[in-house]
Amino acid sequence: MPEDGIDLKARDDIMRFQEMEHLLGLFLDLGVTKVRITGGEPFVRKGLPEFLIKINQYEKLESINLTTNAYFTEDAVQLFQKIKMDSINISLDSLNREVFYKITRRDDFEKVWSNIKKFLLTDLTVKLNMVVIKGINDNEIVDFAELAKNSKVEIRFIEQMPFNGGHFSNDILSAEEIILILQNAYPSMMEFFKMSSTARIFEIPGFKGRLGIIAGHSRTFCSTCSRLRLTPEGILKICLYDHGSVNLKDMLRSGRSDQEIKTAIKDAVSKRAKDGFESEQRTLQKIHFSKNKLSMAQIGG
Ligand code: SF4
């Protein structure tokens, strides 16, 4: 969360649930089978549980996933167990109350941790996402890994990406450096091969859970990436690093037909950059990333 917060959107600028549902139907027709609800934070939106229950009935939708900061999830466990929730990704960047406050601008570590523990006690697939920030929380890498010793959780260490409200420094801890720290702490750690994963997965003998490393900045997994992102404003992003191709909400509201919207989606996908670096280059031609105030608190990951 940037120090000066983020610009809040007017209600009318963001998609209504009916619009999201409509667009989801079109994406399913085009072959999408998996959806992840991100945000910002999905649970700030009233009506989210009803929306999840509704889309859970779509036969073509094989898996529903969600990324949350676990702030408002006290009552979510039962809901997630009721629907075909594939996995819950929880963003947690520190196990230390002061550092948590520094990163999130909220003194709510205890509340979030208590909510996370509720998930860990269930049979739901839980992934804890820690963005590794050099000099801020990199001394907690092994503390996080230890959480996978007695719990079936997947701890995912994510390279910092340039989406923190315009204060990004290229002096990041790379995925390779993170792996080295873990290998030093756990010499018996072994890589577990899984095709098409955006994370490199490692197992440690005796640990119930696993460790994942996501090279979000080095972008070593673009060749297996088939993700599309739809921002709350309805903008279709073909890559995390692009600045959006077409506004599908505006197309819907201006009465464009389903066929026209599907054509626009296919057209945007056909112009996909070969990887995240090319996407970034294209974006840099339009704006300068260092002046980009966009934050993960808005993109949602
Ligand atoms: S193509 Fe873009 S969104 Fe996909 S993995 Fe690469 S950088 Fe990430």
Largest CA distance in the chain: 59
Q: How far is the CA of 219 from the centre of ligand 1 (A)?
A: 7
- Does the beta carbon of 299 lie inside 6 Å of ligand 1? no
The residue ranges of DSSP E strands in 186-264, in sequence order, are 190-192, 200-203, 210-214, 229-230, 235-237, 246-247
- Does the beta carbon of 21 lie inside 6 Å of ligand 1? no
The strand order across the sheet containing 190-192 reads: 34-37, 63-68, 85-91, 126-132, 154-159, 210-214, 200-203, 190-192
Query: How deeply is 170 buried, as exposed, middle or buried, from its count of CB atoms within 10 A (0-12, 13-18, 19+)?
Result: exposed
Q: How far is the CA of 273 from the centre of ligand 1 (A)?
A: 9
Rounded to 10°, the helix 17-29/258-270 angle is 70
Which residue's CA is the nearest one to ligand 1's atom 5? 222
Report CA torsion sign: 219, 225, 230, 236: positive
| Shortest-distance atom of ligand 1 to CA 272 | 1
Express each pLDDT in 49-106 by its tens digit.
999 999 999 999 999 999 999 999 988 998 998 887 888 999 999 999 999 999 998 9
pTM confidence score: 0.87
Low-confidence ranges of the chain (pLDDT < 70): 1-2, 163-170, 194-197, 287-301
Which residue's CA is the nearest one to ligand 1's atom 6? 222
CB 191 within 8 A of CB 202: yes
- Does the beta carbon of 199 lie inside 6 Å of ligand 1? no
Express each pLDDT in 250-266 by its tens digit.
999 999 999 999 999 99
- Does the beta carbon of 163 lie inside 6 Å of ligand 1? no
Report CA torsion sign: 50, 52, 55, 56: negative
